[in-house]
Amino acid sequence: MKIKIARNAGFCMGVRRAVNLVLKAISEKKSPIYTYGPLIHNPQTLALLDKLGVKVIKNPEESCERGVCIIRAHGTSPEEKSSLKKRHEVIDGTCPRVLRVQALAKKAASQGKWVIIIGDKNHAEVKGILAHAGDKGLVVSSEEDIKKLPEVKDCVILSQTTQNQKKFEELSEKILKKCKNCKVINTICNATEKRQSEVIKLSKECEAIVVIGGKFSANTNRLAEIAKARGKEVYLVEKPEELDLEKVKTKKSIGITAGASTPNWLINEVVDHIKVSCLVPYRILKAFSFLSFLFVLNFFLMFSGFLNFVNYPFDLKRLWFSSFVFFFLLFRYNLDTLLQREQLFNFYSVKAKSVTKHLKLIKFITVISVTLSVISGFMFNPQILGVIIGLIFLDQVLKDSPLNFLWEVIFLGAIGLYLYPYWKEPTFSFLFLEVLLLILFIRFYLEIVYFQTDGFLPKSFIISSLGYREELIYKIMKVIIGFGVLCILPLIKTSGFFLSLILVWLVGYIMVKGLKARPLGQIIYLETLSLTMPTLFFLLSIIKRFF
Ligand code: SF4
């Protein structure tokens, strides 16, 4: 079965921005946190916000404890905003594109012009724009409303940002016939248009269309209508359990799209639900990733590559040393998964559900891996058992801190001490730095992958302390790449072969580019891609050592 996912499915820029503001307030421990009206039209995300303590206030005068209040992407009226400011610290999450329409309405009204807004008069966005036009504002939702319009002169016609293009054109043409000296400004947001034109394209290419989103979300329903009008079988679902898999399995190709208020974690859940039942390779990758082998291999390949680069001998000691590292990491990552299972539900529900389903197996792997790590650590050097206890303690202390990633750095530093004689090698320090940079780079890479779920990331993510500013993270990743390349240059004196390590950072650069393309529903594949750099590093170390 072919599965095609619309590139622009899910949150639009404005909704994403408003959600990020709430996330930032949560990570800054602001309390209590309110949103003025439901943040988005998605019951699952609202339930998640409620679980995280974010409350909805419906009236600016509502009596409640003073806190932080986030204005949603639709915006609000100046009166409501100033009333909210008297009671709370206000964070304005109004979408910049809605702000523009509000400003246009205000400007026209201040010039004495009438402002006619084509849109749904009961919609919060339209009410907000109308309020900016003062007593000069009028709303037109249908042809009936045009008949009731007063004979006005000097007016500006604006549109609700999510208005249907065709309807806007038809209605504005009719208003132009009735009102003199009228200027039309199309303020429809292209996010709506893009989603609609993509569903048209998907309808041409696929046998059936899955639309994910709130049953009461207007833009979600519109996407379903468009596909239905093209004769396609449409499944409109809020969550994966609502999908009739037996019917879906009979299709050769499925197109998937989602409304502008559907978070990516829900899209991922539905995509995962379909892929797990239809694609065997996907099931294998998923198990590999969810049992923490992926994270262990990432670190293990870097560690083994490092040993090869510094010519650490292949003997029984190395075997014990390597198996200690492998089993200890397996223990640590699975223990983390078990302890943070509840938090996983907030940003990576697919994994959280899978962990819950395989709880016994994960507990078993955790117990076996700690036992084997103690045995192999003891066989390598009994003192290493002290490292185990110290690191577990440190891991728990840092579990809610963005410095949590330092755990891997300290672990690598600690095992680096056991390689003491090799510190004399001039290349050692630079290679050590290379591995540290790789760890940091992969950490950022994976955080961005999880960030793309639109879920609520825990405080232990570096991205949360950086205010969820994706662009900043991409810049930091590029700086790491540049620094990684710089660290290679001194190594060329020792051996020209080290120049090939630049390949590892070239792959990193391609990964950054790929991440920006935001492929939805691809989280398992993106996670697995994080193996590319450590694998390349390891392969180069083998070539360097033996050829
Ligand atoms: S649809 Fe457009 S205008 Fe409306 S919130 Fe989204 S990005 Fe902003």
What is the CA(365)–ligand 1 centre distance, in A? 46
CA distance 186 to 174: 15
Pocket of ligand 1 (CB under 6 A): 12-15, 73, 95, 97-98, 161-162, 189, 191-192, 260
Residue 153 belongs to a domain:
yes
What is the CA(528)–ligand 1 centre distance, in A? 33
Q: Which atom of ligand 1 is nearest to the CA of 74?
A: 5
What is the CA(170)–ligand 1 centre distance, in A? 22
Q: Ligand 1 test: best mutation among 8, 11, 12, 126, most atoms within 8 Å of CB?
A: 12
Pair (173, 311) in one structural domain: no
CA distance 192 to 6: 13
Q: What is the pLDDT of residues 195-233, one digit of tens each?
A: 989 999 999 999 999 999 988 787 888 899 999 999 999
pLDDT at 521 over 80: no
Which helix (DSSP H) or strand (DSSP E) does residue 161 occupy? Answer: none
Pair (460, 341) in one structural domain: yes
The residue whose CA has the least distance to atom 5 of ligand 1 is 14
Residue 279 belongs to a domain:
no
Residue 35 belongs to a domain:
no
Pair (316, 184) in one structural domain: no
Tokens linked to 407: 């755990």
Residue 46 belongs to a domain:
no
Residue range(s) defining the domain that contains residue 161: 97-188
Indicate the pLDDT class of residue 495, thresholds 50, 70 and 90.
Answer: confident
Pair (289, 180) in one structural domain: no
- Enumerate residues 6+ apart whose C-beta is below 8 A from 262: 9, 10, 11, 42, 212, 213, 214, 217, 220
Which sequence positions are flagged as catalytic?
125
Pair (183, 295) in one structural domain: no
Say what the pLDDT of residue 384 is.
85
How far from 273 is each of 137, 211, 357, CA to CA, in Å?
47, 14, 14
Pair (305, 184) in one structural domain: no
Q: What is the pLDDT of residues 338-395, one digit of tens each?
A: 988 888 988 888 999 999 999 999 999 999 999 999 999 999 888 888 888 888 888 8
The residue whose CA has the least distance to atom 8 of ligand 1 is 14
- Enumerate residues 6+ apart whose C-beta is below 8 A from 360: none
Indicate the pLDDT class of residue 8, thresholds 50, 70 and 90.
Answer: confident
CA distance 116 to 94: 21
Final residue of a structural domain among 188, 217, 238:
188
Q: Are 187 and 159 in contact (CB under 8 A)?
A: yes
Pair (182, 324) in one structural domain: no
Pair (380, 495) in one structural domain: yes
Q: Are 144 and 78 in contact (CB under 8 A)?
A: no
Q: Which atom of ligand 1 is nearest to the CA of 12?
A: 6
Residue 464 belongs to a domain:
yes
Q: What is the pLDDT of residues 17-28, one digit of tens each?
A: 998 899 888 878
CATH of the domain at 115: 3.40.1010.20
Pair (297, 424) in one structural domain: yes
What is the CA(294)–ligand 1 centre distance, in A? 37
Q: Which atom of ligand 1 is nearest to the CA of 95?
A: 8
Q: Which atom of ligand 1 is nearest to the CA of 192?
A: 1
Pair (295, 183) in one structural domain: no
For residue 359, how many other CB atoms are within 10 A of its CB? 13
What is the CA(186)–ligand 1 centre distance, in A? 14
Short-list 388, 338, 453, 529, CA closest to 16:
453
What is the CA(280)–ligand 1 centre distance, in A? 38
Residue 215 belongs to a domain:
no
Q: What is the DSSP letter of 251?
A: -
Say what the pLDDT of residue 190 is.
86
Tally of domains within the chain: 2
Q: Which atom of ligand 1 is nearest to the CA of 73?
A: 5
Indicate the pLDDT class of residue 331, thresholds 50, 70 and 90.
Answer: very high
The residue whose CA has the least distance to atom 2 of ligand 1 is 189
The residue whose CA has the least distance to atom 7 of ligand 1 is 14
Indicate the pLDDT class of residue 1, thresholds 50, 70 and 90.
Answer: confident
Q: Ligand 1 test: best mutation among 19, 161, 168, most atoms within 8 Å of CB?
A: 161
What is the CA(92)–ligand 1 centre distance, in A? 14
Say what the pLDDT of residue 378 is.
92
Final residue of a structural domain among 188, 205, 224:
188
pLDDT at 276 over 80: yes
Pick 28 or 441 by higher pLDDT: 441
Pair (356, 505) in one structural domain: yes
The residue whose CA has the least distance to atom 4 of ligand 1 is 161
Final residue of a structural domain among 188, 214, 232:
188
CA diameter of the chain: 93
Indicate the pLDDT class of residue 91, thresholds 50, 70 and 90.
Answer: very high
Residue 447 belongs to a domain:
yes
What is the CA(6)–ligand 1 centre distance, in A? 18
Residue 456 belongs to a domain:
yes
- Enumerate residues 6+ apart whose C-beta is below 8 A from 115: 105, 108, 109, 129, 130, 133, 136, 137, 138, 155, 156, 158
Which helix (DSSP H) or strand (DSSP E) does residue 263 occupy? Answer: none
- Enumerate residues 6+ apart whose C-beta is below 8 A from 393: none
Q: Which atom of ligand 1 is nearest to the CA of 13?
A: 7
Pair (168, 296) in one structural domain: no
Q: Ligand 1 test: best mutation among 8, 11, 13, 219, most atoms within 8 Å of CB?
A: 13
At 181, is the secondary structure helix, strand, or coil? strand
Q: What is the pLDDT of residues 298-326, one digit of tens each?
A: 999 998 998 888 888 888 988 998 999 99
340 alpha carbon, distance to own chain's centre: 18
Q: Ligand 1 test: best mutation among 189, 194, 217, 454, most atoms within 8 Å of CB?
A: 189
